[in-house]
């Protein structure tokens, strides 16, 4: 436990990053055999070529634990050092216990408490904000942030409008106090617009519509989406929240070294970044290989940027997300390693 009397305000930083995707691939060619679609149609409208899908019996906590173990190792820690865990997910293993409880047990982190955070595609940015505030206030020394989803568990593979979009994956970061005031999380902005809830949702399975023969027959336990509404909102709000956080910190798009958006659709990212005036070389897009993994997209994109040498210590990075709810989030930071 952290001694409350010893708490001081620190800037929080990301000290490690790791990701995990299941090995099985579902390609556009595979989807051509399931629904009336084509590789060209999917690629042109979404930018996706393939996505990773779990095998039967593999749950969100399994993917999360894989990413978490490696993130902890890369931070030079052991699971016993972790004192707080927050998992952003839309696809918990079950209604309860929380996925955080399951991950805590699977990785062997006996001193950690935590909870799940439901913000759909903004799950990682919301969870990162939460952990950073805990660390900054002295309530956590080593926090573990996970974005993980098994979207294939709630996708209707007879619905060509949604089944082409989603994949499964996980990403995890360790957040701790920065020993350099110039490194770490500078600012964040999160908000919701609940008026858009019906545009992207899973209608049944909660307290309003518990599982019944009728809800199953009506296929209400799968993702339902009004694609045009979601697309327009995502483009507008990605640009809006990015401008808002930059202006508040006296910055412009020219100051950003790397922009990492939630990977929902290539056209959404390109439209928003063109409006912001960000050149393509400062924007990470990797949806081609993973699809929309919901809370895992941003850590997966950050990992690709690291591997490609596009992300280095001290660079100014802007994260942005829009998700079902609607949820909107952004985090401004200087990269920590």
* Residues designated catalytic: 121, 262, 292
| C-alpha–C-alpha distance, residues 103 and 72, integer Å | 13
| C-alpha gyration radius of the chain | 19
Instruction: Write the DSSP assignment of 67-114 as a string of letters.
Output: HHHHHHHHTT--GGG--EEEEE-SS-SSSSS-HHHHHHHHHT-TT-EE
CB burial readout 102-122, b (16+ within 10 A) else e: bbbebbebeebebebbbbbbb
Distance from C-alpha of 234 to C-alpha of 273, rounded to nearest angstrom = 12
Q: What is the 3-state secondary structure (H, E, C) of 22-63?
A: CCCEEEHHHHHCCCCCCHHHHHHHHCCCEEECCCCCCCHHHH
Q: At what angle do helices 39-46 and 266-276 cross, to 10 degrees?
A: 30
Which H, E and C letters describe 138-196, residue by residue?
A: CCCCEEEEEEEEEHHHHCCCCCHHHHCCECEEEEEEEEEECCCCCCEEEEEEEEECHHH
């Amino acid at each position: 436990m952290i001694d409350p009397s010893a708490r001081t305000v620190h800037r929080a930083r990301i000290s490690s990053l790791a990701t995990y995707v299941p090995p099985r691939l579902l390609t556009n060619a595979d989807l051509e055999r399931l629904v009336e679609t084509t590789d060209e149609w999917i690629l042109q409208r979404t930018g996706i070529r393939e996505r990773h899908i779990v095998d039967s019996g593999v749950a969100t906590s399994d993917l999360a634990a894989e990413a978490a173990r490696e993130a902890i190792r890369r931070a030079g820690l052991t699971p016993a050092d972790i004192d707080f865990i927050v998992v952003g997910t839309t696809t918990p293993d079950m209604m309860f216990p929380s996925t955080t409880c399951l991950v805590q047990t699977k990785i062997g982190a006996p001193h950690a408490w935590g909870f799940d955070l439901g913000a759909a595609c903004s799950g990682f940015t919301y969870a990162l904000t939460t952990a950073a505030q805990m660390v900054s206030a002295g309530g956590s020394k080593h926090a573990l942030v996970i974005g993980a989803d098994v979207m294939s568990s709630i996708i209707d593979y007879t619905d060509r409008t949604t089944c082409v979009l989603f994949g499964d994956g996980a990403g995890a970061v360790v957040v701790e106090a920065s020993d350099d005031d110039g490194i770490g999380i500078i600012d964040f902005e999160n908000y919701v617009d609940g008026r858009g809830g019906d545009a992207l949702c899973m209608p049944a399975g909660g307290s309003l519509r518990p599982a019944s023969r009728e809800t199953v027959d009506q296929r209400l336990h799968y993702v339902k989406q009004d694609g045009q509404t979601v697309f327009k909102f995502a483009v507008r709000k990605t640009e809006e929240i990015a401008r808002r956080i930059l202006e508040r910190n006296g910055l412009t798009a020219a100051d950003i070294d790397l922009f990492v958006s939630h990977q929902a659709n290539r056209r959404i990212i390109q439209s928003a970044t063109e409006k912001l005036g960000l050149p393509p070389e400062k924007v990470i897009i990797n949806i081609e290989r993973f699809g929309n993994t919901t809370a895992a997209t941003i850590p997966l994109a950050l990992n690709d940027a690291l591997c490609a040498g596009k992300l280095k210590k001290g660079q100014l990075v802007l994260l942005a997300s829009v998700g079902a709810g609607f949820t909107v989030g952004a985090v401004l930071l200087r990269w920590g390693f």
